[in-house]
Amino acid sequence: MTLRALELFSGIGGFAAAVAELDVRVMGALDQDPAALESYRLNFPDHPTRRVDLERVSAWELIAPAAELWWLSPPCQPYCERGARRDLDDHRAGSIMHLMELLSRIPGAALPRHLALENVVGFVGSQAHGRLVELLAGRGYQLRERLLCPTQLGIPSRRPRFYLTASLSPLAPEKPASPRSLSPLAEYLDPMLTEGALEELFLPDEIISRFGAALPILEPDDPLSVTTCFTSGYGRSLTNAGSYLRCGSRVRRFSPEEIIRLLHFSPAFRFPPGMTLRRRWGLAGNSLSVVAVREVLAAFPEF
């Protein structure tokens, strides 16, 4: 039986990619970023999309699709280690606060049967986290929380995230995690780029001379190479935004398409023609690990 889902803060479609081969029908994908929605529509043309400010979305807009599962990936900046961690005092927390307020008063019969949320590890223990857990438990949801990194699933890329699953039905029994060996980083790389095909990716020699010791530079053929977490600031910030790759005597950034591969989007995924390199980096850095989403969805009996 097909499960109807609503994708909130949809971005470029990490959730859509995760359920692409499952019996799930996405009833709506909501986001306020036009570039993210343009990418989403290009890759998932059959999914209804809407540009919506989720700080102002109405209860009716959420319940009208009659979705049985809501997926939420609200802004992470209020809880990031690199930020001020202002939690609910950060204006970017307004959307999750508004959604919690709507969830508190939506009639029980109209609540989604399942709800799942992804955010940075710093979300755990925040005021937003505490309020959400209290709200969902009070509305009758069974909850499960976990921290998960793609490296635990054999992906050579660190992206630790907090995941919450909530259901008005019993959750599936938890399965013990089985250790998985890491895939080689080289499998995710574009061989043409290692030959300097896209000069824009290469760092100037003076940057390497000045900051090289502070940069996480990986060897492409090292079986132990694991990327640090790519953020939306990759390409703007030199440090704490993602890894770099040694190519002979030079060093380059990862391409947005390589980052998308590390997130395990389909090989058919494409960014819109003409989109700038920096914009593609930003969208990739804001997205989801597709394999991690699939792992988390297994908490629901339908998966």
Rounded Cα–Cα distance for residues 11 and 203 (Å)? 28
Q: What is the pLDDT of residue 84?
A: 62
Same structural domain, 156 and 228: no
In a domain, 191, yes or no: yes
Same structural domain, 25 and 87: yes
pLDDT tens track, the chain, 303 positions: 899 999 999 999 999 999 999 999 999 999 999 999 999 999 999 999 999 999 999 999 999 999 999 999 998 888 876 666 777 677 788 899 999 999 999 999 999 999 999 999 999 999 899 999 999 999 999 999 999 999 999 999 999 999 999 999 999 998 877 778 999 999 999 987 766 668 899 999 999 988 888 899 999 999 999 999 999 999 998 888 999 999 888 999 999 999 999 999 999 999 999 999 999 999 999 999 999 999 999 999 988
* Pair 237, 80: CB distance under 8 Å: no
Same structural domain, 125 and 211: no
Same structural domain, 272 and 293: no
From the CA atom positions of the chain, what is the Rg in Å? 20
Same structural domain, 207 and 191: yes
Rounded Cα–Cα distance for residues 149 and 162 (Å)? 9
- Based on the residue annotation, tell me whether 80 is a catalytic residue of this protein: no
Cβ count near 292 (within 10 Å): 25
Query: Phi, psi (5° rounding) for residue 163?
Result: -130, 135
Structural domain including 214 reads 185-283
Same structural domain, 234 and 102: no
In a domain, 106, yes or no: yes
Same structural domain, 60 and 137: yes
SS3 per-residue string spanning the chain: CCEEEEEECCCCCHHHHHCCCCCEEEEEEEECCHHHHHHHHHHCCCCCEEECCCCCCCHHHHHCCCCCEEEECCCCHHHCCCCCCCHHHCHHHHHHHHHHHHHHHCCHHHCCCEEEEEECHHHCCCHHHHHHHHHHHHCCCEEEEEEECHHHHCCCECCCEEEEEEECCCCCCCCCCCCCCCCCHHHHCCCCHHHCCCHHHECCHHHHHHHHHHCCEECCCCCCCCECCCCCCECCECCCCCCEEEECCEEEECCHHHHHHHCCCCCCCCCCCCCCHHHHHHHHHCCCCHHHHHHHHCCCCCC
Exposure of 88 by Cβ count < 10 A (0-12 exposed, 13-18 middle, 19+ buried)? middle
In a domain, 256, yes or no: yes
Cβ count near 260 (within 10 Å): 26
DSSP-assigned beta bridge partners for residue 206: none
- Report the CATH number at residue 243: 3.90.120.10
Q: What token pair was written down for 265?
A: 């989007």
Query: Phi, psi (5° rounding) for residue 37?
Result: -65, -35
Same structural domain, 145 and 26: yes
Rounded Cα–Cα distance for residues 269 and 281 (Å)? 14
Same structural domain, 139 and 224: no
In a domain, 303, yes or no: no
Rounded Cα–Cα distance for residues 91 and 77 (Å)? 10
In a domain, 40, yes or no: yes
Domain total of the chain:
2
Cα separations (Å) of 255 from 190, 219, 295?
Answer: 9, 16, 26
- Report the CATH number at residue 100: 3.40.50.150
In a domain, 192, yes or no: yes
- The answer to whether the predicted template modeling score (pTM) of the entire model surpasses 0.85 is yes
Same structural domain, 72 and 171: yes
In a domain, 24, yes or no: yes
Same structural domain, 91 and 127: yes
Rounded Cα–Cα distance for residues 108 and 261 (Å)? 40
List CB contacts of 248: < 8 A, sequence separation 6 or more.
Answer: none
Same structural domain, 81 and 154: yes
In a domain, 266, yes or no: yes
